[in-house]
Structure 1
Amino acid sequence: MVDDITGLPDDLDLDIEEDLARTETVLSVRMESRRYGKPMTIVEGFEDTNIDLQELASGLKQRLGAGGTVEGETIEIQGDHQRRIPELLRDEGFSVDA
């Protein structure tokens, strides 16, 4: 079968909605200090529910070798990763504010 929207075969198993959500989402990355002055990198701007934040956070944590969590519509990564996370998010297809 062929997808009505893309014209591509259905067996390619493409998630067009998530890909579109990624390209339209503009994220911001900031750092804040938590308990005992520990740095926490915060990724904000996820407004579309088609993005699997748990999966994205898991990938970021693995690539950074850090812990973290998803709180609401934000991803929190332990440590100061303000310079590295924007690059990783762009690799995943997101736009990131400078």
Structure 2
Amino acid sequence: MAKDKDLGSISGLPDELGIDDDLARTQQVLTVSVDTRRYGKPVTLVEGFEGDANVKELASTLKRKLACGGTVEDGVIELQGNHANRVPDILREQGYTVDA
């Protein structure tokens, strides 16, 4: 029988199933917006991460799928260019809830 320390805090199921990570993603509501930076360049912002979400890993996935540059600052993903149409779909594929 599994010990209590091996059970997830959210689901109560064994940690090796990875259920808690999936549930934590679906409970977060992310917002996607476009801001204009220096010289009128658009930047897509992804905000709303809570807890210990792996923001850098998600930023890397978004940059790879969108073929763009970007960074993570203060828990906010900044992507170069206007990707407001494509980012919500990619986030949903990754298991996140996106505010429409």
What band does the TM-score fall into relative to the shorter chain?
0.7 to 0.9
Task: Name 2:67's counterpart in structure 1.
Answer: 65
Task: Report the CA distance between 1:74 and its aligned residue.
Answer: 0.7
Task: Name 1:6's counterpart in structure 2.
Answer: 13
Task: Report the CA distance between 1:17 and its aligned residue.
Answer: 3.2
Q: TM-score, normalised by structure 2?
A: 0.84
RMSD: 1.7
Give the ranges of 4+ consecutive aligned residues of structure 1 lying more than 6 Å apart after TM superposition.
none
Q: TM-score, normalised by structure 1?
A: 0.85
Q: Secondary structure at the match of 1:93?
A: coil
- For 1:14 and 1:66, how far apart are their aligned partners in 2? 33
Q: Secondary structure at the match of 2:23?
A: helix
- For 2:40 and 2:47, how far apart are their aligned partners in 1? 21
Q: Does 1:23 align with 2:26?
A: yes
Unpaired segments of 5 or more residues in structure 2?
none
1:1-98 equivalences in 2 (<5 Å): 4=7, 5-6=12-13, 13-49=16-52, 51-98=53-100
Q: Which amino acid aligns with 1:28?
A: T
